[in-house]
Amino acid sequence: MSDNSQPVLYFDGVCNLCNAMVQLVIRKDKKAKFRFASLQSAAGKAILHQYQQQNNKNPDSIILQKDGLLYVKSTAALHVLLLMGGLYKLAVIGFVFPRFIRDAVYDFIARNRYKWFGKKDSCMVPTLELQSRFLD
């Protein structure tokens, strides 16, 4: 798990959409603020367990760990965009919509993500230069 000094983005490592999102964050995160872990990794499984213990739910979505808090679904996605800075900060407008509406849209996309974007047989392997940004 993270030491809370950097935000950690946990993602579905076999989902093509999720991997594309992680690649975008990596490209735009010039200051290397973010760290990453797939939900299938040991760190991902540990954070899933922590979230389950705290919320009695099993999220199949991204999880953002930031400042000791866990964010999921649309809230996690919006926080990631805010942390990316630049024009991505305009995502703050998304918080105008109630969470149940944002999460309904998120859930619809999440349910269809493999059908629409495909699925990998295994998680992505970070390059040597990116390995330090991945928890495991």
Per residue in 79-97, pLDDT tens? 999 999 899 999 999 999 9
Q: How big is the CA angle at 14 (ends 2 and 130), to the nearest 5 degrees? A: 50
Contact 16, 69 (CB under 8 A): no
User: Number of H helices and number of E strands within the chain?
Assistant: 4, 4
Is the pTM here over 0.85, yes or no? yes
Output the six-digit token pair for 110.
């999440």
Domain annotation covers residue 25: yes
Q: Is residue 130 in some structural domain?
A: no
Residue 131 lies in a domain: no
The verdict on residue 3 lying in a domain is no
**19 in any annotated domain:** yes
The angle formed by the CA atoms of residues 89, 26 and 44, to the nearest 5 degrees, is 100
Question: Does some domain include residue 134?
Answer: no
DSSP secondary structure letter of residue 116: H
Task: Please say whether the beta carbons of 102 and 75 come within 8 A.
Answer: yes
Count: domains in the chain: 1
* For residue 1, pLDDT beyond 50: no
State which residues form the domain around 80: 8-125
**pLDDT tens figures, 93-123:** 999 999 999 999 999 999 999 899 988 776 6
Query: Which residues have CB under 8 Å from 88's CB, separation 6+?
Result: 28, 81, 82
| Residue keyed to tokens 């540990």 | 46
Say if 135 falls within a structural domain.
Answer: no
Q: Name the H helices within 1-136.
A: 16-28, 42-55, 73-84, 99-117
Q: What is the mean pLDDT of residues 23-44?
A: 91
Q: Is residue 115 part of a domain?
A: yes
